[in-house]
């Protein structure tokens, strides 16, 4: 059978270079990114402190945290700028019929 996918948003909900915070029914908060024609998802909460990454800025392939301007690679979750040192959890995302889905 087909794996059940969780809908995150519509493709048109996030402009290129923008971020959307999505609160899932199970309580998880994700940041969904539209980066160079592809979509990515990570935990919304910075691993350094209590900051919502969806309120940060995209710079190249990195998300800059709004609190202390640490950064992570959006594609891998690896920390790319101090003070961030703990990787961010990333989630596999697929696009189907104009919908951005969490591949589960």
- Residue 81 and residue 12: Cα distance in Å, rounded? 30
Contact with ligand FES (CB under 6 A) among 9, 51, 61, 87: 51
Binding window for ligand FES (CB under 6 A); candidates: 4-12, 13-21, 30-38, 47-55:
47-55
Residue 46 binds ligand FES (CB under 6 A): yes
Residue 48, both tokens: 């350094």
Minimal distance, residue 54 CB to ligand FES, in Å: 12
Q: How many CB atoms lie within 10 A of CB 99?
A: 14
Among 6, 9, 83, 99, binds ligand FES (CB under 6 A): 83
What is the rounded distance in angstroms from the CA atom of residue 62 to the CA atom of residue 102?
20
Q: How many residues does the chain have?
A: 104
Residue (80 or 101) nearer to ligand FES, CB = 80
**Which of these, 103, 6, 101, 8, lies nearest to 54 by C-alpha position?**
8
The binding site for ligand FES (CB under 6 A) comprises: 46, 48-49, 51, 65, 67-68, 70, 83-84
């Amino acid at each position: 059978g087909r794996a059940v996918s969780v809908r995150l948003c519509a493709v048109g909900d996030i402009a290129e270079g923008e971020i959307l915070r999505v609160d899932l029914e199970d309580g998880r908060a994700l940041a969904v990114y539209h980066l160079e024609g592809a979509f990515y998802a990570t935990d919304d909460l910075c691993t350094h402190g209590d900051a919502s990454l969806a309120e940060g800025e995209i710079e190249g392939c990195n998300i800059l945290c709004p609190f202390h301007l640490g950064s992570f690679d959006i594609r891998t979750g690896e920390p790319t700028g101090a003070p961030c040192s703990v990787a961010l959890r990333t989630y596999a995302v697929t696009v189907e019929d104009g919908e951005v889905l969490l591949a589960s």
